[in-house]
Structure 1
Amino acid sequence: MEPTSSTLLWGGRFTESMNDLMVIFNESLPFDKALHKADIEGSITFAKALFQLNLLSQDELNSIISGLQAVEKEWKEGTFVIKPNVDEDIHTANERRLAELIGSSIAGKLHTGRSRNEQIATDMRIWVREQLAGLSIVMKEVLRTCASRAKSEIDVLMPGYTHFQRAQPIRFSHWLLSHATYIIGDLQRLEGIKERVNCCPLGVGALAGNPFGIDRSFLAKDLGFSSIHPNSLAAVADRDFVAEVLQWSSLLMVHLSRLSEDLIIYSTAEFGFVRVADAYSTGSSLMPQKKNPDSLELIRGKAGRVMGQASGFLSTLKSLPTAYNKDIQESVEPLLDCVKTVSHCLRIIRGVLDTLKVDSKKMRSALTADMLATDVADYLVLKGVPFRQTHHAAGAVVRKAEEAGVSISELGLQDLKQISPHFENDIVEVFDFERSVEKRSAEGGTCRKSVQTQIAMIEALLSGN
């Protein structure tokens, strides 16, 4: 069907048909149909507000509500028939179908005093509010998995790395909880975004406000919003909540990407610390022996996708004049795609962590005595030697061992005394990885008690205490 002035919501002042490509270029229904439920909810509430103003009769209100519910039922069941070149966006499609069901004389009253500018702003906030609540649940599931694995594998020791070089022994649980800590921060930031998203723009018209004195407090309350957008010009153009969601998602994806990178490295044959389950791996079409951690590689790759959406959308926003401009339509697709991507990545990483096989023997065998060089320095500190001197002395111990082709734990006491007279027979006690880990007993350290405290903090967070 050709779009004409009679089939377009805004066609009254036009005399010529739209260019065929322009029709496609302008349409947003292919993606904003995802907002169908939110659009129906907003329209039902708006109809109730019109009834309060005596702009709809009770019978008209009942017809509109039952008609909109029937339209939503069609969307839900997949029977809604889209009319190409007519259904420009989700608002047009729903109103067109409503008119077919209850008649245009009644359906035509629904848009009284309302603009699609406020509709889309409302729909997006309702939709993303629900999506963010779902993401919060999945993030908590990831944290629950981290806490559970940390508790069950608290005895596993592994090398800790800085500059991607072996540094000091740590607990595997401590490594896992370091990533959980980032996700906790993401969860806390999400709560702030959820509050700012939950602000109602409905009832402001196209830009200047509603001319019929519509009750915006009722609109907000009926739709579950916690506040009312205070300025009509800003309300229709405000996509800061989209920018916030995209930026928040970018940081979350950075954290998931870093966790994925560690696991990719640790799963290589060169490390062999962990094995990713078959359920989250793929193979090679040429090399039969290959088992690739594609789940983690895709998370790492999709981090760039989400960050690109955030950067791109900010570039769209930066030069827009006041109030609504069609550029803002470009906020919908990035938001929809970003939320889907983040949701998938969170669910995948949870599955990877839940099914991950940890090789404690491989991790333990990767621990070497030179990783206890700091413990040697600390030993001398307890003998009364200033740390700057102990640091040099411990460095000399490492150098002497390298020259002799042995481990620092294999140097004799006389060799050590040549470096510092403060070395005594009890130096042998230092060369114990478990002891080294347990010495890191300050809050936040890698000792057992500290790790258990971190686990308890996550469990308390998840239980709401």
Structure 2
Amino acid sequence: MAKMWAGRFSKEEDEAVNDFNSSIAFDQRMAVQDIKGSIAHATMLGAQGIIAQSEADAICAGLSSILEDLQSGALSIDPTAEDIHMFVEAELTARLGDTGKRLHTARSRNDQVALDVRMYLRDTVKEIKTLTKTLVETICEISSEHTHTVMSGYTHLQRAQPITFAHHLMAYAQMFYRDLTRLSDATARMDEMPLGSGALAGTTYPIDRQMVAKLLGFSGVTQNSLDGVSDRDFCIEIASALSILMMHLSRFCEEIILWCSWEFKFIELDDAYATGSSIMPQKKNPDIAELVRGKTGRVIGDLVTLLTMMKGLPLAYNKDMQEDKEAVFDACDTVILCVKTFIPMLKTMTVLPENMRRAAAKGFINATDCADYLVKKGLPFRDAYKAVGTLVAHCIRTGEVLETLPIEEYKDVCDLFADDVYDAINLDTCVNGRDVEGGPAPARVKAQIEAMQKKLASYDAE
């Protein structure tokens, strides 16, 4: 395919240079956005009298036919084309002749690609937000079934204080909802139309940028032509939001990996979302969760790629910026793949409440409640803390737990203890007593679930 810029050059581009320079292998996925952007541009050129209305109409019809042919399979993208923009323009010119050559009036590939990437990411992030919303809804559904399922909360991966499984899950619901808001914030800042910036200095043609913005569903236009073509903050910001989302997903996967191990056995993954071993017949491996955890590094790497690519670039456009697409596309693809796989894995897992309760009972997670019991009877907290620590050390030596320790041994440490201590340190009492906003008491977690479901109901993934 002849280069559109060949007039300046006296010889053909080296084949290896062509391959190195080409971006068609990855930017062809923006064909729909490129054609829609070109239709809006041609419509504006005709309305402004920059080209004849009949030519604008012919260009729009030609572009629509190209899109139809691509979608039906009647037309294949030429892998030797430099990029998707040149492929579409060359195909249009082949169909319309000189009329097709008028499409690029008052436009540069610099502002064209800036537009296409924004439009593509707008569409793709919408899909990611819809998936993430479904993930939060799934967590809420599972949580609503386990508001009374007592388990140990952990710090330093050591049993710490009693909570419920619902309370633990809803922590992730909060994380993923913040991811939703981050993605919405990023797309809101991306909602500016760069076409009309030209190569870097706008154009002398009397274009109507606001018209094009309106046709393409943007709320406004970029305010500086240099920034319009050289800005990739939106790619970086989306990759950042996706990296945080993947980090949250990875933390969740790490806990699922722990929970389904024989050492915890709090859950069991469905056979459809686990794999076996080639040599050990007893194995049931959480490979899906492990892969998600591993792919997190890939998305974080995409973010680092974008930041590193941009950090030394002078204004305006530089060819380095061609590297933006593979990185941000890969981040989007990876997140979509991971969340799509994670949701059904989560839905189909079996929760084992008895094992959670058994582990909680052995971890002295009611020790703080035992100390609080003494504080309520007038003992300073630090003295109460020391007394209960002495009791725990005694239980570890004798193989007992606080719930079974005879009252006489309680009184040997502090005479404020009475028979009502057993009710105070009951795990259900400990959980129910944490009746503060955001706490693990069943009523509070139910309220948290309802509040989240209400926010999700009003959330717009657009």
**Any idea what the Cα deviations from partners look like across 1:360-401, whole Å, max 9, x if unmatched?**
111111122522111110100110111111111111111122
Match runs of 1:40-189 below 5 Å: 40-85=35-80, 87-103=81-97, 105-189=98-182
Aligned to 1:450: 444
Matched residue SS, 1:159: strand
- Report the alpha carbon displacement of residue 426 of structure 1 after superposing the two structures with TM: 1.1
CA distance in 1, matches of 2:277, 2:299: 27
Alpha-carbon distance, 1:84 to partner: 4.3
Alpha-carbon distance between aligned partners in 2 of 1:70 and 1:291, rounded to the nearest angstrom:
52
Alignment partner of 1:23 is 2:18: yes
CA distance in 2, matches of 1:280, 1:80: 39
Cα distance in 2 for residues equivalent to 1:192 and 1:402: 51
Write the distance in 2 (CA, Å) between the matches of 1:283 and 1:235. Answer: 52
1:90 and 1:286 map into 2 onto residues whose CA distance is 48
2:223 counterpart residue number? 230
How many residues are aligned here?
Answer: 458
Q: 2: CA distance between counterparts of 1:236 and 1:12?
A: 24
Query: Are the aligned partners of 1:200 and 1:227 in contact in 2 as well (CA < 8 Å)?
Result: yes
Give me the whole-angstrom Cα distance separating, in 2, the residues matched to 1:78 and 1:31: 18
Moved more, 177-186 or 422-431: 422-431
Please say if 1:317 is aligned against 2:305. Answer: no
**Match of 2:361, as an amino acid?**
T
The range that moved more, 364-373 or 111-120, is 364-373
Letter in structure 2 aligned against 1:26: N
Quote how far apart the aligned CAs of 1:431 are: 3.3
User: Partner of 2:218: helix, strand, or coil?
Assistant: coil
Task: List per-residue Cα deviations over 1:15-42 (Å, max 9, x = no partner).
Answer: 0111111000000000000000000011
* 2: CA distance, partners of 1:211 / 1:290: 69
Deviation at 1:411, TM superposition (A): 2.3
TM-score norm. by structure 1 comes to: 0.96
Moved more, 369-378 or 314-323: 369-378
The two structures have a TM-score, normalised by structure 2, of 0.97
Task: Say whether the 8 Å CA contact 1:246–1:335 is kept in structure 2.
Answer: yes
* Residues in 1 aligned to 2:200 and 2:117: alpha-carbon distance in whole angstroms: 17
RMSD: 1.3
**In the alignment, what sits opposite 1:415?**
409
Distance 1:133 1:84, change over 3 A: closer
Residue in 1 aligned with 2:337?
344
% identical aligned pairs: 39
CA distance in 2, matches of 1:384, 1:244: 54
Runs of 4+ in 1 over 6 A off after TM superposition: none
CA contact (8 A) 1:199 1:228 kept: yes
Deviations along 1:279-304, one digit per CA (max 9) or x if unpaired, are 22222222232221111111101100
State the distance in 1 between where 2:317 and 2:407 align.
Answer: 79
Task: Please state if 1:433 is matched with 2:424.
Answer: no
Q: Give the Å deviation of 1:238.
A: 0.5
Separation (CA, whole Å) in 2 of partners of 1:391 and 1:400? 14
SS of residue in 1 equivalent to 2:95: helix
Amino acid at match of 1:336: F
What is the match of residue 30 of structure 2? Answer: 35
Alignment match of 1:192 (pick from 156, 164, 185)? 185
Deviations 1:63-90 (CA, angstroms, capped at 9, x unpaired): 11111011111221233233343x1000
> Following TM superposition, by how much is the alpha carbon of 1:56 offset from its aligned partner in structure 2, in angstroms?
2.2
**Aligned equivalents of 1:78, 1:157: Cα separation in 2:** 56
Q: Say if 1:281 and 1:79 are closer, same or farther in 2 by CA, change over 3 A.
A: farther
Which whole-Å CA distance do the structure 2 matches of 1:279 and 1:59 have between them?
58
Going from structure 1 to structure 2, the CA distance change for 1:111 and 1:257 (only over 3 Å counts) comes to same
| Counterpart residue number, 1:249 | 242
Partners of 2:144 and 2:75 in 1: CA distance:
50
Deviation at 1:311, TM superposition (A): 0.9
CA distance in 1: counterparts of 2:74 and 2:110, whole angstroms: 27
How many Å separate the matches in 2 of 1:53 and 1:464?
40
CA distance in 2, matches of 1:242, 1:77: 30
Does structure 2 retain, via aligned residues, the 8 Å contact 1:203–1:219? Answer: no
Verify the 8 A CA contact 2:43 2:57 in the aligned structure 1.
no
SS at match of 1:436: helix
Q: How big is the shift at 1:276?
A: 1.2
Q: Provide the C-alpha distance between the structure 2 equivalents of 1:28 and 1:460, rounded to a whole number of angstroms.
A: 44
Question: Match for 2:397: what amino acid?
Answer: E
Measured in 2, the distance between the counterparts of 1:99 and 1:414 equals: 95
Deviations along 1:183-210, one digit per CA (max 9) or x if unpaired, are 1111111111110111100111100012
Deviation at 1:118, TM superposition (A): 0.4
Counterpart CA distance in 1 for 2:86 and 2:117 is 16
What SS class does the counterpart of residue 50 from structure 2 fall into? coil
1:11 and 2:6 aligned: yes
CA distance in 2 between partners of 1:322 and 1:88 (Å): 23
